[in-house]
Homo-oligomer: A and B are copies of this chain.
Amino acid sequence: MRIGVELKEIPSKWFSVVPDLGFTVPPLMSQSGYPVSYHDLASLAPSSIIDQELDKVTREIPIPGEVSSAYADWRPTSLFRADRLEKTLDTPARIFFKYEGTDITGGHEMNTAVPQAYYAAKDKGVKCMVTATANGEWGISLAAACNRFGLECKVYMVRSNYEQKPQGRYVMELLGAEVIASPGNTTRTGKKILAENPSSPGTIAIALSEAFEYAQTKDDTKFAWGTVMNHVLLHQSIIGLESRQQLQKAGVRPDIIIGAVSGGSGFGGLILPFFREREQKPRVIAVETSVAPSLSKGRYAYDYGDAEGLFPMLKMYTLGHSFVPPGIIAGGMRYHGISPLISALYKEKQIEAKTYTQHQAFEAAVGFARSEGLIASPETAYAIKAVIDEALICRGKKERKNILFLFDANSNLDIVAFKEFVDGALQEQLTPDDDISLALSKLPQIPE
């Protein structure tokens, strides 16, 4: 049941929680052990993006008119009440979800792709944006956003996805982007990896290194981050800002907020605007996949964001930048770290973390689809599992809690995986604790 679609307007400002936190989020760190400055990022990112990334004092940042106009093509997105799921579960809890499946790419990534392309196009001499993607959702969004602002787009796509799940690639190419399998022979990083392992299937961390290296060598090209970074969470705050307004209009205060975390962009976008309020903070649950439990089993430490250590270091809950989890359908959730902002909130015990296996998540998503008629992305499947568990606790305790979760994307690229799950052909995956210990032993050594 859709509620709260009737927002008169889209929020005019993004929201940054940083000034309100009451504690300091450790800064990005260069390899030489100094906090990263504007200068260190200047060759990589659009100037306004660097300003936003490093800004620690501004609570509200105006959304530029052209970005707002683009947002208006699909925003405000709808807030739904999962009333049929509530009935199926026979729970007194009320379940709400923010539905980010309506933009042209079917996911939430356009919220940050659009401003990144907009700011890049404003910078003098910039003609191209480059990024890394796994399944393709993020790459599709950047391709569409570049298209809108007259930029070329170049995407390094994890080779195993490029070859085995090419639908996302086809969409990017159709939108005019150049898609390159990673690792490949066009970068030093790619050549090095292929020399070690000619049949390397790639990881998102490797693809990030390749894209980052490419951006460093091209004056007319800027790198675009799809998640993790402060500016990405800033842009995604539009999700939570709208949700708050829509719930307020419906007279609802959320008791529990739930989202799946990959790098933390959709999750952060949903929850952070609820941290503005000093009182009655909701319980917040970050849901991880059991194969890559950065918050639950990782270490809070400085680590690289990419495989080769070309990125600045980030203080985050990490499994180690060399960590390679088994393949799961929710490819983005295999990333070794979590946004520094989300990591700091977890360190401060302001949010909780839960892990579920791939099978647990898919089973929940199938139940949801049969109740609500919507097939969730594999990432959202994890969130749904946590939602169902909380709703069942409410049933046991006869508590009428309000649960809000993020439906981050549709499953357009992943229907076959659902079929395999229903047929019993989708493998469960586990990560041995030793793999995590090994990767953690390879964390970069820097003064803390």
Contact = CB atoms under 8 A, between A and B. Distances in A.
Interface in A117-152: 144, 147-148
The listed residue with most B CB atoms (<10 A of its CB), out of A73, A171, A374, is: A73
Contacts of A148: 84, 373
Given A80-B73, A167-B416, A415-B170, A175 B2 contact: no
Contacts of A173: 419, 422
Nearest to A421: B174
B176 A370 contact: yes
A224 interface: no
A69 B1 contact: yes
A404 interface: no
A56 to B, nearest CB: 34
Contacts of A78: 73
A328 interface: no
A374 B104 contact: yes
Contact of A1 (B2, B73, B147, B176): B73
Given A2-B72, A418-B170, A147 B370 contact: yes
Contacts of A438: none
A102 interface: yes
B370 A175 contact: yes
A373 B170 contact: no
Interface residues of A, number: 34
A70 to B, nearest CB: 9
A418 B174 contact: yes
Given A171-B415, A416-B170, A373 B144 contact: yes
A2 B415 contact: no
Contacts of A369: 174-175
Interface in A73-117: 73-74, 78, 80, 84, 102, 104
A102 B369 CA distance: 17
A375 B171 contact: yes
Given A69-B1, A84-B148, A170 B104 contact: no
Contact of A102 (B72, B84, B102, B412): B102
A175 B373 CA distance: 7
Contact of A104 (B176, B373, B418): B373
Contacts of A412: 412
A366 interface: yes
Interface in A155-209: 166-167, 170-171, 173-176
Nearest to A412: B412
Nearest to A176: B370
Nearest to A167: B415
Given A1-B72, A104-B374, A144-B373, 18 more contacts: A1-B73, A2-B73, A73-B78, A73-B80, A84-B148, A104-B373, A147-B370, A167-B415, A167-B416, A170-B418, A171-B375, A173-B419, A174-B370, A174-B375, A174-B415, A174-B419, A174-B422, A176-B370
24 contacts: A1-B69, A1-B72, A1-B73, A73-B78, A73-B80, A84-B148, A104-B373, A104-B374, A166-B419, A167-B415, A167-B416, A170-B416, A170-B418, A171-B415, A173-B419, A173-B422, A174-B366, A174-B369, A174-B375, A174-B418, A175-B373, A175-B375, A176-B370, A412-B412
Interface of A: 1-2, 69, 72-74, 78, 80, 84, 102, 104, 144, 147-148, 166-167, 170-171, 173-176, 366, 369-370, 373-375, 412, 415-416, 418-419, 422
